[in-house]
A = this chain, B = another copy of it.
């Protein structure tokens, strides 16, 4: 039997031990990790699973110590580029928000060191994981808070498999609002049937960052202005690269204050997991928009049998935009072009806008405050995409290799398969 004293000793020698996987240990001093999607960490020998891909993020390396998988999370301030042109001061884990994904296998004994480099106390709750009450991470209720400078040790055996999360249960409103969250994936001991070929992790979040500033307001409850996949906004979000015919799982966790109905084009799919475990096949049903409740996870699965560039986005239209003024006067249908010359005598940069809709804004170069993204962004093969926030593309292609997640560029449509413009003399309806 392992005593608490032995475990303490083991923890002490962690960082001097042998790295059991090929991955490089996080530098504890990193203030900001790369925003490119990192290659998955292969399953160690003796364990068989498809490792997850955390979009614009990475998985957390570990060391083995007498049969225990030892992870080290460092709660600390970091910076995060939301998309080129905007970098935010956040709190996260190991230099990133969301923190690196923890991957382990049902039956594993895990030990997780948590070092607090924040200016205030913290704790970690292992959302959805069955464990002894004293490992539940509720500061004040199941353990003392972790003070700045302290390292706490959580250790438990994984008795289940599925999609879970970790986040503070201490000053929770503030700490989560500025980025503290991460996913915790437990692979099954025996591979699930059907097995998936690609397995993606996405954490949803919402932020209120005043244009021209560098930090989210933690007190905002309803009127957010930026919505992120893994703390990135479109076009800063990497595509989900998928080989034609692959079985795909997308695990989506929501740590914001609102539901996000995630719509995938071109497919219908089933929810196979919640943060409580597996949905039995008989209880599954097809959806094309899955509402992810706050504090919940849904894993969706489908077979990628249709090639192309398929949108994946939140269906709340404001959540696929970047920061905008919601209180601007409504100019739709108000003829005001002729006012421009007069106003420009006073305000030379003035442009009338919005009288015919807002599509023009995707092409317009407007002066913006520093560190602020346009409301609508992104350029596709046929022009501006007029998107922001929670939007990305699943790129389904023939002929990719199993582990190949490199962006294959835009889809080349076979001749005659794109909606086409009718010559006006063919329709006989115009004019």
Contacts and interface: CB of A to CB of B under 8 A. Distances in A.
Contacts of A415: 4
A172 B287 contact: no
A266 B131 contact: yes
A375 to B, nearest CB: 9
Contact of A282 (B77, B115, B280): B280
A368 interface: no
Contacts of A74: 429
Contacts of A169: 311
Interface in A75-109: 77, 89
Contacts of A308: 132-134, 136, 142
Nearest to A307: B133
Among A8, A141, A324, A423, the one with the most B-chain Cβ atoms within 10 Å of its Cβ is A141
Contact of A330 (B145, B215, B316): B215
B131 A8 contact: no
A276 B268 CA distance: 5
Interface stretch (A35-43, A344-352, A378-386): A378-386
A125 to B, nearest CB: 7
Interface string A124-153: 010110111111111111111110011111
A333 B218 CA distance: 12
Given A265-B138, A286-B276, A357 B310 contact: no
Contacts of A3: 416
A257 interface: yes
Among A135, A421, A425, the one with the most B-chain Cβ atoms within 10 Å of its Cβ is A421
Interface in A200-251: 215-223
B288 A128 contact: yes
A382 B282 contact: no
A283 B283 CA distance: 4
Contact of A421 (B151, B284, B285, B359): B151
A298 to B, nearest CB: 10
A4 B356 contact: no
Nearest to A415: B4
A150 B274 contact: no
A309 B141 CA distance: 8
B316 A257 contact: yes
A411 to B, nearest CB: 6
B72 A429 contact: yes
B173 A318 contact: yes
A309 B142 contact: yes
Given A150-B421, A326-B220, A289 B285 contact: no
Given A140-B379, A413-B133, A276 B266 contact: no
Given A275-B289, A283-B282, A359-B145, A11 B295 contact: no
B128 A420 contact: no
A153 B275 contact: no
A192 interface: no
Given A133-B417, A134-B418, A382-B140, A330 B115 contact: no
Interface in A326-353: 326-328, 330, 332-333
A183 B105 CA distance: 43
Contacts of A257: 316-318
Nearest to A77: B333
Interface in A358-409: 358-360, 362, 378-386, 393
Contacts of A378: 140
A328 B208 CA distance: 13
Given A257-B316, A357-B120, A428-B12, A422 B152 contact: yes
Contacts of A28: 429
A72 B17 CA distance: 70
12 contacts: A9-B426, A119-B355, A125-B265, A130-B266, A134-B413, A170-B386, A171-B357, A219-B330, A220-B326, A277-B285, A280-B285, A283-B285
Given A140-B386, A218-B332, A261-B295, 4 more contacts: A4-B420, A133-B309, A151-B430, A283-B284
